C-alpha cells in the first residue's frame, strides 16, 4: 500500500491507472478507522481493480464550537488497518493544500441539505459536498463507497453527482453495528461507560418503530411519540430530531410506508450521534 500526500501525486497515480484501462474505487473517510470503515474498503475492493482510501479531517464541515480539534485521530493505526485490506493507496492530503489560501469556492446542494442534520448544522453539507467534489476530481474514481449511517450525506452526494454529471457510481454500504446494536462511529470514542449504555437507545428506538409498523401503525406522529419515549427513558439523552422521511427526497411523511426511513439525531452527554433505519427492516435502499 502506498501513502500519498501531495494532490498532484495522487492525480498522477490515478491517471496512470486510467491509462491502463483499470478501475478505481474511492472510500472517503476522516480516519480513526473501525470495522465500519474496513467494511467499506472491502466492498470497494470487490467493485474495482484498485482502492483509494482518503483520510482527511475536513475542517470546513465543522462549524465554530464543534469538535474539529477533538476529533479522534490515529494515523499510525489507520495505516496499519488499511494495509491489511485490499487498499492500494492511502491518500492523506494536508489542509493547507486542499484549501490553498483558504479556498474561495464551495459546492452547494439545495433542498435536501436544509432538513434533518442541515437544520442544526447549516454549513455542514456545503463542507461535505465541497471536499467530496475535490476528492472526485483528484482521484478520478469509477466508484465511491459511503456508509449508510450518514443517510442524508449519502442522499446529498448522490444528488450532487447526478446534478454535476459525474460518471461515478455512488455505492452505499449498510450500517455496521456493535453486538448491542450501536452503530459504529468514530465519535463513540467520546462516550463514557454509562453514556455508551445509554447510546444503545437509538437502535432500540428503531426496533420499537419497526415493531409498531409491523403491527399496523402508520401514523408518523404516533410513531414519533413512541420513539421519543424510548429515547428519553435513558439518562443523559437529549433529542436533536426524530424524523420519518422519504428515502429519496427526505421529505417528512405523515403516513409511513415500507419506504419510510426513521432518521435520528441525539446527544448522549455532549456527544452527538445519528442513526437510521427503514421501518420495514427488509427494505433495500435504492439509488
Q: What is the mean pLDDT of the chain?
A: 96
Which of 158, 128, 129 shows the shortest CA–CA distance to 286? 158
> Average of pLDDT values for 230-236?
96
* pLDDT value, residue 283: 58
285 has a pLDDT exceeding 70: no
Cα 264 from Cα 117, distance rounded (Å): 9
Is the pLDDT at 137 greater than 80? The verdict is: yes
Would the pLDDT of 233 be above 90?
yes
φ/ψ (deg, to 5) at 157: -65, -40
Residue 127 has pLDDT above 60, yes or no: yes
This prediction's pTM: 0.95
Q: What value does the mean pLDDT take over residues 128-149?
A: 98
Predicted local distance difference test score (pLDDT) of residue 36: 97
For residues 243-265, average pLDDT: 96
Average the pLDDT over 163-181 and give the result: 97
pLDDT in tens, 66-104: 999 999 999 999 999 999 999 999 999 999 999 999 899
Specify the 3-state DSSP secondary structure of 104.
coil
CA 218 to chain centre: 28
pLDDT at 204 exceeding the cut of 90 = yes
pLDDT band at residue 109 using 50, 70 and 90 as cut-offs: very high
CA–CA gap between residue 111 and residue 68 (Å, rounded): 26
Helices (H), the chain: 7-19, 35-47, 75-83, 95-98, 117-120, 124-139, 151-163, 193-199, 201-214, 220-232
Which residue in this structure is represented by grid cell 480513526? 32
The pLDDT > 90 percentage for the chain reads 95
SS3 22: coil
Averaged over 156-169, what is the pLDDT?
Answer: 98
At 282 the pLDDT is 62
Instruction: State the CB neighbour count (10 A cutoff) for residue 30.
Output: 17
C-alpha cell at 160: 450532487
Side-chain half-sphere of 65: how many Cα atoms within 13 Å?
4
State the Cα–Cα distance between residues 145 and 139, nearest whole angstrom: 13
Q: What pLDDT is recorded for position 287?
A: 52
Task: Report the C-alpha gap between 284 and 258 in whole angstroms.
Answer: 10
Out of 5, 34, 37, 50, pick the active-site residue: 37
Is 37 considered catalytic here? yes
Q: For residue 185, which of 228, 153, 210 has the smallest C-alpha distance?
A: 153
Confidence band for 284, pLDDT divided at 50, 70 and 90: low
Mean pLDDT over 195-206 rounds to 97
Up-side HSE of residue 286: CA atoms within 13 Å toward CB? 8
Q: Domains of the chain by range and CATH?
A: 2-173 (3.40.50.620), 186-277 (3.30.1300.10)
Distance CA 283, CA 261 (A): 10
pLDDT score recorded for residue 13:
98
pLDDT on residue 225: 98
Residue 178 has pLDDT above 80, yes or no: yes
Instruction: Report the pLDDT value the prediction gives residue 76, as an integer from 0 to 100.
Output: 98
Residue 221 has which C-alpha cell?
A: 406522529
Amino acid at each position: 500500500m502506498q501513502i500519498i500526500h501531495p494532490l498532484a501525486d495522487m492525480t498522477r497515480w490515478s491517471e496512470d491507472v486510467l491509462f491502463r484501462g483499470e478501475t478505481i474505487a474511492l472510500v472517503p473517510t476522516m480516519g480513526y478507522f473501525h470495522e465500519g470503515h474496513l467494511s467499506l474498503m472491502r466492498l470497494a475492493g470487490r467493485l474495482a481493480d484498485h482502492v483509494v482510501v482518503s483520510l482527511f479531517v475536513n475542517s470546513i464541515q465543522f462549524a465554530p464550537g464543534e469538535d474539529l480539534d477533538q476529533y479522534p485521530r490515529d494515523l499510525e493505526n489507520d495505516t496499519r488497518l488499511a494495509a491489511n485490506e485490499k487498499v492500494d493507496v492511502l491518500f492523506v492530503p494536508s489542509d493547507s493544500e486542499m484549501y490553498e489560501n483558504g479556498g474561495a469556492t464551495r459546492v452547494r446542494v439545495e433542498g435536501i441539505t436544509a432538513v434533518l442534520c442541515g437544520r442544526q448544522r447549516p454549513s455542514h453539507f456545503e463542507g461535505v459536498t465541497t471536499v467530496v467534489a475535490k476528492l472526485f476530481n483528484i482521484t478520478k474514481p469509477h466508484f465511491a463507497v459511503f456508509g449508510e449511517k450518514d443517510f442524508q450525506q449519502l442522499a446529498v452526494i448522490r444528488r450532487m453527482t447526478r446534478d454535476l454529471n459525474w460518471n461515478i457510481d455512488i455505492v452505499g454500504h449498510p450500517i455496521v453495528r456493535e453486538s448491542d446494536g450501536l452503530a459504529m462511529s468514530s465519535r463513540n470514542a467520546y462516550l463514557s461507560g454509562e453514556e455508551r449504555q445509554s447510546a444503545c437507545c437509538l437502535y432500540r428506538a428503531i426496533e420499537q418503530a419497526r415493531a409498531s409498523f409491523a403491527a399496523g401503525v402508520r401514523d408518523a406522529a404516533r410513531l414519533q411519540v413512541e420513539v421519543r419515549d424510548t429515547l428519553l427513558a435513558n439518562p443523559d439523552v437529549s433529542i436533536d430530531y426524530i424524523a420519518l422521511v422519504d428515502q429519496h427526497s427526505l421529505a417528512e411523511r405523515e403516513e409511513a410506508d415500507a419506504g419510510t426511513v426513521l432518521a435520528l439525531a441525539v446527544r448522549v452527554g455532549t456527544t452527538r450521534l445519528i442513526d437510521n433505519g427503514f421501518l420495514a427492516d427488509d427494505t433495500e435502499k435504492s439509488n
